[in-house]
Structure formats: C-alpha cells, structure tokens
Amino acid sequence: MVTGRKVAVVGMGGSFPDCADIKEFDQKIFSGQSLIREWSKAAERDKQIRSKVAGYINDNDLGIEPIYLVEGYDWPETFVDTRGRIPDINLSTADLGCVWAMNGALDSIEMAGWTKEETQSEMTGVVVASGGGGNVIMRNAWHAFFELGKKSRQAGSHMVDRAMSYREAANVSCLIKNRGVCESIISACATGLGNIGYAYRLIKFGLQDRAIAGGVEGTSLETFIGFDAMQVLSKGFAPAESSRPFDIKRNGFVCSFGAGIVALEEYEIAKARGANILAVIDDYFNNSDGDGDMFYPSYSGQLRMWKGLSANAQIKPDVVKVHGTATPVGDILELISVVDTLGEEGYHVSAPKSQFGHMLGAAGSVEFIVALLMLKNQQVPGCLNSDTLNPELENFQKKEGWQGSMKPAAAYRHLIPQETITKEINQVVCLNYGFGGTNSAMAISRDI
C-alpha cells in the first residue's frame, strides 16, 4: 500500500431517464422535476404487472438505433450509434447497458481531459458493472433454442460477450483500450457505488493512477417483473408522485434504468496537469449486516458502516445522500441510523430516488453524480413527495431489543427539504445498500 495517495473525481457522464444529456439531468434534478413516467412496456401487459411506472430510456433514445434480426421480436441484434461515437465493431458486442456505459466513459474521459496516452496507459483501469443479467440478449437464445428447437448458432455468436456478467467493463475497456485493470464489482443495488469504491481503492493503494468506474442498469422487462413479483414496486400513484421516500403513504420503489460513469484520478497527478477537480474522495467503506437476512435492512450493520467510514477520515457531512428507496421499512430505519450517528442538526438528507426512482445497479453511481452536482451547484435537491412523515413510531421501534432513536420520522422533518435549497456544501456522504445485506458508504468533499 502506498500511503498518502488521495483520489479525485475529474469526469462524469451517463444516461438518464427523460434527459438528453447530463446538462439536462442537472437542470431537471435541481429544478425539482420528476423523471418518472408511465412505461408502456409495463402498461401494455395490463394485469400481468402491478406497477406501471419507471424511469426509463427508450431503446432508440440518446442517438442509439436498435437493429432487429426479425421484425416484431423485441431483442435487438445490434445497435447503430447515429452520433458516430462508438464504432460498429464495439456495438456488435454490446447490450443496451453497455452502449450507455461506453457513452458515459467517453463523456467522462472528455471532461477529465485525459490524453490518448493517459487513457491507454497500464495505470488506467476500468471498473464498471450492472446489477442485472443480460436478460434482453438471452431472450433470443431462449426463443430460438428452447421454443423453436433451433441449433445453438441461431442464438447468435455474441450471446456470451453481450450477456456475460462483466460485459460493461469489457466493452468499455475494448473501446478506450486501457492497459490496466478491467473488472466488475457486483453487489445488487450497491453495485454503482461499489465499483467507484473499488476503483478508489485501486488508485489509493497505488495499483492504478486513474480509472473509469460506475454502474449500469440496462432496460429490461425481466428485471422489472422480478421486483414486481416481490410486490415491492410502487403502485397506485400518478407517475411523478410514485417515488415517495419517507412519506407515510410510500408503498414501494419505482424500478428505473440508466447509467452513471465517473473518471477518477490520483489527486497529485490530476492537480499537476491542471484538471478540474469535481470532488476529492475522503474515504469509502463497505461491510455486511451479518444477520443472515437477505432483504431486511440492519440498523447495527449501518451503524458499523458509519463507524468504518469515520475510522480514517474526517466525516462531517453537509448532506447525507441516502439510499432512500421508498419501501416501507428501509427509509426510516436508514434515517434513524443517520440521525443516531450524526445527531439531529447540522446537515440535510437527500433522497434522489424521489426524482428518478431506483436504478438498481446504476443507483449508486447516478446518485454519486447527483452528489457531485450538489458540490458544484451548492444546492440540495428536495425530496419529492415526502409530504407527510409518520407522527408515530415505526413497528421496528416498538420491538423488544430496539436500541435506536425512540422518536418518530416526523421529528426529523427539518432534515429533509421538500424543495431545492441553497447552502454551503463542503462534504457529502453517499449511502447505498443491496440484497444480501451489503452496505456501502463514500464521503466526498469539495477541493478547497
């Protein structure tokens, strides 16, 4: 390990629902708009699917045109990049999420100002992943092999590279031609932050000087119906009102898709070449609940996460960017673990999922980009639809053995702005959790 190395964020990019680019994303987030719409792919299934809303990007948005092998089949054989940024050979090995990842990588490198030599260096890594499998690509294989009884080649020769678990990292690496690490860190809904965290460690520990990192969740009805089957998706509200973190009427999360990619660089190297430093990473910490529960969040696991984050860094955030999915249990338990760690004053809580839903494997990285924008804009976006906080205790607070706060959610109203506020923001803590009891936390600061 190399001591004293710091890591800077020097670029960002991504694909966001209902936004042409990161500029429009910035504008819509900080002007309090919702990116959630009724999703025709879910709505047309009528009673097969409970939830009808999503933060989605159409297959042919963002200058990408899908090419279908057989008319009427909902799986693209490949894509055409009408903007001409990604060569056909790279598109032929990509699913939609990989195309978003490649676009985000190109945007991040452009913003970072890396030269070709820097990008293609042995000291440049790629750490990108998605939460879900290559479902859309597998559709053709299922259909041709199992339903039609065709030979394996009818699934196409790109089923493996377009559907394998680390397809996003592989595609980004083949596009930018870096010579360092190429890996994926996969941890359900903590994936986005987990990849940035792992890339941070590679640089901090001296193994790489720079990295493209982030998370992706490509559009997939299979992903959507998986969560719909669990009955954890929001139901019964108008699209813009569907994602309601902390609100007493919240009944589930909005399943969304997108990608968030960032460029990280060793601080002194970035400084020396005069890079625009979007943030400095103070530290990253992740752990597991250790209670054997796949789904239920853990108060003690989250407290240990905060302790770990604070062990080697000064943690005094002006904003805590929470996971805040709008599921009945998670939000308030998370809020209380924040309050019991930081106290009841001196910071604000931001839940960006209120505006674009839960991007699963992309959630941590897209919300990390929101945190970068908070540092840039010196603003905290409001938590949409957090209209009423429960004036009474949650059920978990009434259980024997509960050791946390005995105040109801409504006691913390002052921490959760409902509209965008402007204030001095020097540090933001980003939190994300995932199935399997995984907890991740990263603190970032303004470079001053």
Partner 1 sequence: MDRKEILAGLIEVLRTIRTVDPAKLENVTEETDFMTDMNTPSTELINIAAKVEQKFDVEFEDEDIDELGSKVKDVIDLIIKAKARTEEERGN
Q: Which of 174, 323, 348, 430 is catalytic?
A: 323
8 within 8 A of 280, measured Cβ to Cβ: yes
CA 333 to CA 331: how far, in whole Å?
6
81: its two tokens: 């990049």
CA 309 to CA 313: how far, in whole Å?
7
- Smallest gap from residue 41 Cβ to partner 1 (A): 25
Among 19, 91, 102, 263, binds partner 1 (CB under 8 A): 91
89 belongs to the binding site for partner 1 (CB under 8 A): yes
Q: Which of 19, 182, 348, 358 is catalytic?
A: 358
CB nearer to partner 1: give 86 or 211: 86
**Between the CA atoms of 306, 195, 190 and 244, what dihedral angle is there, to the nearest 10 degrees?**
100
Q: Residue count at the site for partner 1 (CB under 8 A)? A: 16
Beta-bridge partners for 183: 127
CA 403 to CA 397: how far, in whole Å?
8
Q: Which of 98, 174, 189, 383 is catalytic?
A: 189
156 belongs to the binding site for partner 1 (CB under 8 A): yes
348 noted as active-site residue = no
- Smallest gap from residue 59 Cβ to partner 1 (A): 16
Residues 62-81 binding partner 1 (CB under 8 A) are 67, 69-70, 77-78, 80
101 within 8 A of 59, measured Cβ to Cβ: no
CB nearer to partner 1: give 75 or 306: 75
- Mutual angle of helices 96-112 and 167-176, in 10-degree steps: 50
Among 116, 153, 398, 414, binds partner 1 (CB under 8 A): 153
Among 157, 231, 314, 422, binds partner 1 (CB under 8 A): 157
CB nearer to partner 1: give 74 or 88: 88
Binding mask 288-327 for partner 1 (x = CB under 8 A): ----------------------------------------
351 within 8 A of 245, measured Cβ to Cβ: yes
Among 74, 88, 344, 392, binds partner 1 (CB under 8 A): 88
What's the maximum distance between 2 C-alpha atoms anywhere in the chain?
64
- Smallest gap from residue 313 Cβ to partner 1 (A): 46
Stretch that binds partner 1, among 34-42, 150-158, 288-296, 322-330 (CB under 8 A): 150-158
Residues 1-20 binding partner 1 (CB under 8 A) are none
CB nearer to partner 1: give 156 or 239: 156
323 noted as active-site residue = yes
Three-class SS string for 188-246? HHHHHHHHHHHHHHHHHCCCCCEEEEEEEECCCHHHHHHHHHCCCECCCCCHHHCCCCC
CA 448 to CA 440: how far, in whole Å?
26
Write the burial class of residue 44 (CB in 10 Å: 0-12 exposed, 13-18 middle, 19+ buried): exposed
Among 158, 235, 271, 376, binds partner 1 (CB under 8 A): 158
CA 62 to CA 83: how far, in whole Å?
9
SS3 assignment, position 123: coil
- Smallest gap from residue 158 Cβ to partner 1 (A): 7
Residues 372-401 binding partner 1 (CB under 8 A) are none
192's CB contacts (< 8 A; 6+ apart) are 214, 215, 260, 359, 361, 362, 363, 364, 365, 366, 367, 368, 432
- Smallest gap from residue 151 Cβ to partner 1 (A): 7
N-to-C CA span, the chain: 26
135's CB contacts (< 8 A; 6+ apart) are 220, 221, 222, 223
CB nearer to partner 1: give 157 or 395: 157
- Smallest gap from residue 174 Cβ to partner 1 (A): 12
- Smallest gap from residue 76 Cβ to partner 1 (A): 11
CA 204 to CA 100: how far, in whole Å?
27
182 noted as active-site residue = no
- Smallest gap from residue 91 Cβ to partner 1 (A): 7
Stretch that binds partner 1, among 24-32, 83-91, 214-222, 357-365 (CB under 8 A): 83-91
Among 33, 154, 165, 390, binds partner 1 (CB under 8 A): 154
**Residues lying near partner 1 in the complex (CB under 8 A):** 67, 69-70, 77-78, 80, 88-89, 91-92, 151, 153-154, 156-158
Catalytic residues: 189, 323, 358
